[in-house]
Structure 1
Amino acid sequence: MRSICVFCGSRAGAQPVYQTLAEQLGRHMARQGIRLIYGGGHVGLMGVIADSVLAAGGKVTGVIPQMLMDREVGHRNLTRLHVVGSMHERKAMMAELAEGFIAMPGGIGTFEELFEIWTWAQLGLHRKPIGLLNAGNYYDDLLRFLDHAEGEGFLGERHRQILMTDEHPERLLQSMRDAVIPPETPVISLEES
């Protein structure tokens, strides 16, 4: 895997572990020659992971809409920075550039990006691995809810298995690298909806 798109918060969060694991993930990516693709910001966990990859000698490509550049939240020291016209263009370009995806702790934007890319996988629009870095057990309640959704028949088991979860960056990267994605990604059927 040569590139991974990381979705994460534009805030650092309340627990130091979020920043620590963002730094670890960034270092592991750089050491393994994996380019970081991300939202292009210099703030919060976004800035932490970008700076970590760069400090470890890795490459970082940011994709940011002009409106956020205008608010001066864009990272100006990246390997490459694409400034696009809208949030939709941003997500489409990040998805195109990445060979896999990881969601770290974040807020509404991170949730939206994770669920959209997961939905695209469910629909067969891509066959790229998706990971959830459960730093500091941040996503425990979401994982319980996903179990509930599966138990209630709204989420198929094979679609649930698309999302790999771990609390250790190196193990998550290895799981994603080892992931065997079937030649035909399952498409949702009426029986599973």
Structure 2
Amino acid sequence: MPQYSAGNITHNRLITVASAVAFGFACFQLAVQFIPESGAVTTPTPAVNSSASPDKLPTPNYDELANWNLFGNPKVKTKAKKVVPIVAPETRLKLELQGIVYSNPPADGIAIISEPGKPQKTYHLGDALPGNATLYALEQDHVILQRNGRHETLTLRKSPDMQTPMNETTVQSDLPVQRMQVSTDKKII
């Protein structure tokens, strides 16, 4: 436990006073740097247009401001590209399409693909697949692969109870979901 004596307290007060004086001197030196060298303190005066009276201020030109297109040009309309479906033969690769997570934009979509006897993996557009193929496009019930410069189709496997591939409108409660639509729409419902 520290012992307090009259000499100790006097010494601490002396250090505190010296620190306060040094801090005050540093603040004074800083303030002196902002004073003009002439010594006279001047205040800026606003520029006054002698031709305009305070009652008659110039009217802003809102048409000119609107032509600046601060948020883009609303008159320019982009034409939607017509998507032509790719017709390609079924692939001969030993791959099974387990599911498709379709997204808008399609680049965010995922294909769930497996090889026989191996666990399924997820693939994005442009990813390399087994068999020297690349995932090229996602469709509702199939994906398009690109292999050796040619397109091939890998179709979503059919449920044994159904004649069509399962999707969000044909899912039954006792069957796993094979495909789902992911929306990036920012609307709040």
Task: Give the TM-score normalised by the residue count of structure 2.
Answer: 0.18
Larger Rg: 2
If asked which structure has higher relative contact order (CA below 8 Å, sep 6+), I would say 1
